[in-house]
Structure 1
Amino acid sequence: MLVHPWDAPHDDTEWRQWLAVHDFGQLAVNGLPGEPPHVQPLHFVYDAGRGEQGEVVTHLARPNPLWPALEAAPEVLLSVVDDYVFVPGPWQAAPDGPAEHGTPTSFYAAVQLRCTARIVDDPAEKAGLLNRQVGHFQPEGGSALAAVGEEPYGRMLAGIRGLRLEVTGVSAKFKYAGHRPREVQDRIVAGLAARGGPRDAAAREHQLRRRGTWRADR
């Protein structure tokens, strides 16, 4: 993923805070020889406190076709993208140029985690991973814990395999016109507010938060 200096996160805290509330992504696994990569949509939990760069935990059904490829090549990429919007060309036009000469583009936030995968088949460890996930996604409770040999989930453990992904590298990007002149940024902010599309408010918040923090001489 190309990351220009003006799109880079200010620090690790920025992308980690964003990732903490964006917990659905796509896991890319290298295919076996002659096969394309596997791309699996999934919910996951990122734990920044485990390992040098954090750990991701998730699980998938045992019949999933990606397991042989993952066993052959455990280096994977977890990609998360959200807060994306289309920006019309006139919004990005230079202050001293005609509006129709503006360049349309996309705004988005993205984090890519390069990971080393470890498959978890031990029933007790799988139960522990499931409980970590439920604790994240359902903190209000209301569901029984998974435990080996106990209802209601004990018998279901055989039907899944757990995944622990040790994060070995991070690429993060917040593409929100950080290098544009203030007048252009003001126009984009106003356009997002007026349009009010599904992700416009989140994109506008990113732009307002990050504006004025990038300098070409850094």
Structure 2
Amino acid sequence: MYCPTPFEEQRPEVLRQLIGAHPLATLIRQCPDGLVADHIPLLHVPTDHAGGQGQLIGHVARANPLWQVSPDEELLLVFQGPQAYISPNWYATKADGGKVVPTWNYAVVHVHATLSAVQEPEALLQILTQLTNRHESDQPHPWQVGDAPPEFTNKLLAHIVGVRLDIRRMQGKWKVSQNQPEVNRASVVSMLTGLGSETAATMAEMVLRR
């Protein structure tokens, strides 16, 4: 991905934080008929080997050929974080000659990884349990995999395959008004905050932190 130096984000903990907050990955691979994209919620988990960047785990339908890719094939996963349109009207320097244009602020993580399939029932159930526990954690009464009848769960397990993606490298891009003077960053934060939406507020915080 094209990423000018001011927009680079390389800190692993920051990249993992975005993945955790926006876990729906767009997974892109090259097939004989061209590029194919799948959309899969994934969970980052650490690995034991030194220097490792961890794994992403999830599952797909057994009918999806994704799980049959070669273990050496590198896949591209895109995690899209907060994003917002930035109007030139929001820049304080607009009054100084009008030399401002619209842009789009966003944060995104690209992950390059290889995939291995998980078909053994106990290991697959463990993946489902980890995913469920993560995404049910903010519920008043979290649902658990064990709440469903075992025969029902076992029947469904036959129709899915787990995936483990070993991360080879990650690249982050935080385009959040770093290229603007301080007076414009302040006015962008003010306008985003005034929109009153959670996404705009998150972007405003990103602009402040940069």
Query: How far 1:93 sits from its partner (Å)?
Result: 6.8
Within 5 Å, give how 1:186-197 maps onto structure 2. Answer: 186-197=186-197
Aligned to 2:160: 160
Within 5 Å, give how 1:22-61 maps onto structure 2. Answer: 22-32=22-32, 35-49=33-47, 51=49, 52-61=52-61
Within 5 Å, give how 1:1-218 maps onto structure 2. Answer: 1-9=1-9, 11-32=11-32, 35-49=33-47, 51=49, 52-67=52-67, 70-71=69-70, 74-92=73-91, 94=93, 97-99=96-98, 101-139=99-137, 141-145=142-146, 150-197=150-197, 199-210=199-210
Report the number of matched residues: 205
**C-alpha deviations, 1:75-114, integer Å up to 9, x for none?**
1111111210001123347467323x31211101101111
Please give the alpha-carbon distance, in whole angstroms, between the structure 1 residues aligned to 2:179 and 2:143.
47
Task: Give the fraction of aligned pairs with identical amino acids, expressed as a percent.
Answer: 23
Please give the alpha-carbon distance, in whole angstroms, between the structure 2 residues aligned to 1:102 and 1:50.
49
Q: Specify the code of the residue in structure 2 equivalent to 1:142.
A: W
1:44, 1:57 within 8 Å by CA — same for their partners in 2?
A: yes
TM-score of the pair, normalised by structure 1 = 0.83
* Equivalent position SS for 1:165: strand
Query: How far 1:202 sits from its partner (Å)?
Result: 0.9
TM-score of the pair, normalised by structure 2 = 0.86
Change (3 A) 1:71 1:10: closer
Please give the alpha-carbon distance, in whole angstroms, between the structure 1 residues aligned to 2:184 and 2:197.
20
1:95, 1:184 within 8 Å by CA — same for their partners in 2?
A: no
2:177, 2:185 within 8 Å by CA — same for their partners in 1?
A: yes
**C-alpha deviations, 1:36-81, integer Å up to 9, x for none?**
211111211111455500100010111124445x248631111111
2:129, 2:144 within 8 Å by CA — same for their partners in 1?
A: no
| Structure 1: segments with no counterpart, 5+ residues | 211-218
* Equivalent position SS for 2:184: helix
Please give the alpha-carbon distance, in whole angstroms, between the structure 2 residues aligned to 1:62 and 1:102.
51
Please give the alpha-carbon distance, in whole angstroms, between the structure 1 residues aligned to 2:21 and 2:47.
16
| Structure 2: segments with no counterpart, 5+ residues | none
Please give the alpha-carbon distance, in whole angstroms, between the structure 2 residues aligned to 1:199 and 1:209.
15
